Structure 1
Amino acid sequence: MTEYNYAEFSTGDYNLTTFHGPQLGTKAPNFTLQDVGGEEVDLLGFDGQFLVLEIGSITCPLFQGRRGGMTDLVKKYPNIDFAVLYVREAHPGKSIGAHDNFDQKKACATRLAADGEGRRILVDDFEGTAHSAYGSYPNAVFIINKNGCVLFRADWNNPGATAKALKNLLNGKPANVKSYFKPARPDIVVKTMKDSGKGSLADFLKGLPILIWKNLIRRNFLLLFNREPKVMPNADC
């Protein structure tokens, strides 16, 4: 493993075998974070029925590819809070490089907001403390209830599965939905890497065979047989 804010992407920067984010039915980690406006926010102090928290960065093609689907959910469920936890750059390049300090990180998060991201963007600290507590993956997603319990988690966000999980919870059922990994569309990958700048695409392509094997093939196969505990929407942990 390299330092947290790596300058070049490598599959060795992630544990692609085991996801260490909070387990279902356990207390979600809480942090005081800044949003892009500089306001301090209690992560678990949301007003909606649930919080849908997605991990992301402007150089992550998976996150960029999910934004349309997540925007649809925001419009569909006005009584649910949605937030993005802005973390390290997944694929830094010459134009958008690794963060050297918190101000640079906040500037990238602000750029994401200017690009039309309507969800509240919460900026993790420079060392990635909250990111580490939520598993350190670049595009995980969690649904958390008012008691702070994790009701649904997916190491890779699949908006279709997240939508089904929300529907189950709103109907008083556990969010037992299998969130299979779906790769980003090639055009979104190319655009994201182009915006990131020179070096990002080459680093991505270098790691692509491992990403395909670990996520698209191995992970999805294991998920087929995985059984998660059933956690009710009003669980108190």
Structure 2
Amino acid sequence: MNSYNYDEFSTGDYDFDTEVGPSVGDKAPDFELTTATGETKNLLDFSGEFLVLEMGSITCPLFQSRRGIMQPLAQTDGASSAVLYVREAHPGADIQSHKSFDDKMGCAVRLTCEDGETRTVFVDGLEGKAHAAYGSMPNAVFIINKGGCVAYRADWNNPTATRKALQALLAGRAVTSKPYFRPALPTTVFRTLGNAGKGSAADFLKGLPFLFWTNIIKRNLRLLFNRPKSGSKHTTC
């Protein structure tokens, strides 16, 4: 099986210290992908001034906990919003790692039909090429302007910071919000991992001390003392 679609979550599956993928001012990678509704579309073929693109999967507690704030962004004047469906963050006995594209499509359809996701859901290929191009983090977010340039990015989506960044970009202001890492509510964590089935929660809890140190402490301290890059609708790449 492709190692990209791991059967058991491990902190070694991700690079938590290095920014990988397009930064602010870089060209956003474009891909022709299938959506959860069966359409074939280009990722960067959007109608608004900006596209808010979030990485996610149904076994990612962070993604599941952000959807209530992220989905309404699609109704913001001048903004489009979409999800790139990636590998399962915490596979278990009931929602396993993807062995085929049909497996992945099935999970994306479940996200829309059972979980009620209303944004356009692009389904990445089994090999995760689009996900890799955007850095491979499980719940990263990018805001991309009509020129196809990244105007904002966060390795971990903080939906409040993302919303403020979008509002600033639409108003022509510099982005000042910092995407501090915010953990998901425990109720969302255990509901999501419980739905994934046996093994999912155990693997997550095993890595929890490392995740706490790396993201809540180290990452947030770096953000506190560093100024984020700021893009705009006029950013060129």
Q: Matches of 1:6 and 1:230 in 2, distance apart?
A: 35
DSSP-derived class of the 2:143 partner: strand
Q: Which residue of 2 aligns with 1:49?
A: 49
Identity of aligned residues (%): 58
The range that moved more, 78-87 or 92-101, is: 78-87
TM-score, length-normalised on structure 1?
A: 0.96
Other structure's SS at 2:160 match: helix
How many aligned positions are there? 235
Report the TM-score when normalising by structure 2: 0.96
Deviation for aligned residue 1:78: 4.2
Runs of at least 5 residues in structure 1 that lack an aligned partner in the other structure: none
**Quick one: distance in 2 between partners of 1:149 and 1:62?**
26
Distance 1:42 1:7 in 2: 29
Please name the residue that 1:27 is paired with: 27
* TM-align CA RMSD: 1.1
Alpha-carbon distance in 2 for matches of 1:18, 1:117 = 30
Match of 1:190 in 2: 190
Q: State yes or no: 1:152 paired with 2:152.
A: yes
Q: 2:95 is matched with which residue?
A: 96
Which residue number in structure 2 is paired with residue 84 of structure 1? 83
CA drift at 1:50: 0.6
2: CA distance, partners of 1:180 / 1:139: 13
Matched position secondary structure for 2:53: strand
Aligned to 1:209: 209
**Displacement over 6 Å in runs of 4+:** none
Instruction: Name the CA distance, whole Å, in 2 between partners of 1:229 and 1:57.
Output: 27
Q: Can you give the 5+ residue segments of structure 2 that lack an aligned partner in the other structure?
A: none
Letter in 1 for 2:192: T
3-state SS of paired residue (1:167): helix
Q: Which amino acid aligns with 1:166?
A: L
Q: State the 1:72 CA deviation.
A: 3.2
Q: Per-residue CA shift, 1:148-172, capped at 9, x if unaligned? A: 0100000000110001101111111
Once the two structures are superposed, the pairs formed by residues 1-237 of structure 1 within 5 Å of their partners are 3-75=3-75, 77-114=76-113, 115-237=115-237
Q: Give the distance between the partners of 1:37 and 1:5, measured in 2 at CA.
A: 23
| Cα distance in 2 between the residues matched to 1:230 and 1:99 | 36
